Amino acid sequence: MSLAYTPGLKRKEYYILRKTRALPLPGDVTVKIGDRVDGDQTVAMTKMPGNPRVVNVCIPLNCDPEDMPDYMLKKEGEPVAKGEVIARKKRWFMKREYFSEYEGTLELIMQASGQIVIREPQIPVELKAFVPGRVVHVLPNQGVVIECPCAFIQGIFGIGGETSGVLETIVKSEDEVVTEDHIRPEHAGKILVGGSLVTEKILRKAVAVGARGMIVGGIEDKDLRDFLGYEIGVAVTGHENAGLTLIVTEGFGRMSMARASFELLRSHSGEVAYINGATQIRAGVIRPEIIIPLKEAASAEGGEDTVSLEGMTVGMAVRVIEAPYFGMLGKIASLPVELQKMETESYARVLEVELLDGRRVTVARANVEIIEE
């Protein structure tokens, strides 16, 4: 049988997640192999360069650029305090001075332009573990790999960064639409599990009550755009300052959450979950993640914090990602070997999917995603 490969969406009741945590610049790792860490524990530290501030000193001194260095009271590399006089021009009874607007280090004096560069103090960066677990590997001067037994679900799209909170299922079924009545003041600090759809109005109410996250099957593109205040781009998401982290498990539009995903999340209501909405759909695929740490997971499968590539087999759970069946779930019914002519007049390998409603449809193999269970 021929094989095709496609990025898989994981949904695991028991899973050994190995999460790599790395600094943006070399620094100091503060834990060692074998250490147990909490999600909010610092595992590595570094310092980012401060912002460079460019100032034209000729303006306050009323001098020509080539004369400016003669009036400087500080040399390159010397510290500068905010409000300190760092340049002075005296002429008879007149005195002009430049008081620094910034604290930092005088990095550069540019005679040609009459400008100086003050580098603000370094910015401390603390890298948190994000998930609780055990340190299994140390990346010298960079970070660590943390092993966390967990229940694990990947979404199809998300916004917002890393956060955590107690899971609470606020609907009765995977096809129920989230309404205003579902969002209550007691949901402050929690991660809410919805059904088939959430709107911009509901997301704003969730932010208002202090919810940290929302997990739902689908959202309309317009509601997402109105919630963010701009059109989402194709770059990596996860840096939005939206007030909460949103994870969409199925796609855009009203789409019932996969029943297995809904039941798995509901079974862990009342437990702490760690979620991240970061998404990248181009090369180097990044999926939003839902991580629910488990105390014991002796039968858990091993894994990495990257999406694996799996061969397709009959019976495997998949999601269709082409119209008119976009977002529908099913199982592979057959894998024809022969190439078939598509509507575009091109030829491609296809597969037959038995959808959850019993229909059998034929789609290109490249237009399905494997759901790892």
What letter would DSSP give residue 34?
Answer: T
How far is CA 15 from each of CA 160, 284, 295, rounded to the nearest angstrom? 24, 22, 12
The reported pLDDT for the residue numbered 344 is 61
Residue 210 burial (10 A CB sphere; 0-12, 13-18, 19+): middle
Gap between the Cα atoms of 288 and 361, Å rounded = 28
pLDDT one-digit tens code per residue, 158-209: 999 999 999 999 999 999 999 999 999 999 999 999 999 999 999 999 999 9
Q: What pLDDT is attached to residue 280?
A: 84
pLDDT tens sequence across 340-373: 776 666 667 788 899 988 899 988 877 787 776 6
Confidence at residue 299, expressed as pLDDT on a 0 to 100 scale: 42
- Whether the ω angle into residue 324 lies within 30 degrees of 0, i.e. cis, is yes
Angle at the Cα of 141 from the Cα atoms of 51 and 17, rounded to 5 degrees: 105
CB 104 within 8 A of CB 118: yes
Low-confidence ranges of the chain (pLDDT < 70): 1-8, 234-235, 282-284, 296-311, 337-339, 342-347, 372-373
pLDDT for position 4: 39
If phi over 0 gives left and psi between -120 and 50 gives alpha, with beta otherwise, what is residue 244?
beta
